[in-house]
Amino acid sequence: MALMLRDGLYHRQIGDAVIFLDLPVDRYFLLTDGHAEDFLRALSGEASASDWLIERGIFADRKTEEGTEPDALVAPKISLVDGPLDEASVATTAASLWLQWRTRKELRRRPLSSIIGELKSAGRRETAQPNDAVIAGVAAAFLCAKRYAPAIDQCLVRSIAMKRMLMHRGSAVSLVFGVTMPFAAHCWVQAGSTVLSDPLDIVLHYKPILAV
């Protein structure tokens, strides 16, 4: 039986290293050197998984979670944040601040995996195509909100809040988690090849590991 990553575990190879996002426990970890080689050979079916990999629960004999494969995500080419954007609506800016505040509180009391699970479920029901005018208005509002509450500018909080607002307004977008080496992680919101929440030069430093 072919081995697969267990539910909630995502990976990205960067050079000779393999970075993992273990969503159920909300942490990243890294395999390098021989351990990374063992993992990649086992994943491709070239070799059996070592006892070391099996004991750590990296593999399972089936996988039930659904999500976007990172390599299937369209590569970002432009960012709305790089402008110019129209002036942000006061009402939408206020709504973005409130939604970020609520999301921050929610992340303190709920597992990230639960929130991501809800976004996946809602995304499977969402069939609307992104609305350019709505997306531009929301992007402008979140950019404007940074000036009024810089402390709220955390990528996870901002990205979840932005995705929720756009979903509620009928536009399906992707919440993307990315990683790089030396290890760093970031997340952003993307519609097609357009980044909505960050400058393009920042996003291009990262390789997607999970897209919701």
Tens of pLDDT, residues 58-103: 877 655 555 555 666 889 999 999 989 999 999 999 999 999 999 9
Confidence class for position 21, pLDDT limits 50, 70, 90: very high
Q: Is 15 left (phi over 0), alpha (psi -120 to 50) or beta?
A: left
State the DSSP code for 61. Answer: S
Maximum CA pair distance of the chain?
58
Parent domain of 33:
4-60
pTM: 0.89
Same domain, 54 and 75: no
Q: How many helices (H) and strands (E) does the chain have?
A: 7, 10
- Alpha-carbon distance of 12 to 208, in angstroms, equals 7
For residue 116, report the phi and psi dihedrals to the nearest 5 degrees: -65, -40
Q: How far is CA 110 from CA 11, 102, 113, 114, in A?
A: 23, 12, 8, 7
Same domain, 78 and 161: yes
State the DSSP code for 68. Answer: B
- Alpha-carbon distance of 75 to 93, in angstroms, equals 28
- Asked, for residue 12, whether it belongs to a domain, the answer is yes
What digits encode the pLDDT tens for the residues 106-149? 999 999 999 999 998 886 655 567 789 999 999 999 999 988 87
- Asked, for residue 65, whether it belongs to a domain, the answer is no
Same domain, 141 and 114: yes
State the total domains in the chain.
2
Name the token pair of 98: 């409130």
Confidence class for position 55, pLDDT limits 50, 70, 90: confident
Query: Which residue blocks in the chain are alpha helix, DSSP H?
Result: 33-44, 51-55, 90-109, 112-125, 132-148, 155-168, 200-203
pLDDT at 126: 57
Same domain, 81 and 181: yes
The strand pairing partners of 4, in sequence order, are 60
Same domain, 109 and 177: yes
- Alpha-carbon distance of 90 to 147, in angstroms, equals 13
Confidence class for position 1, pLDDT limits 50, 70, 90: very low
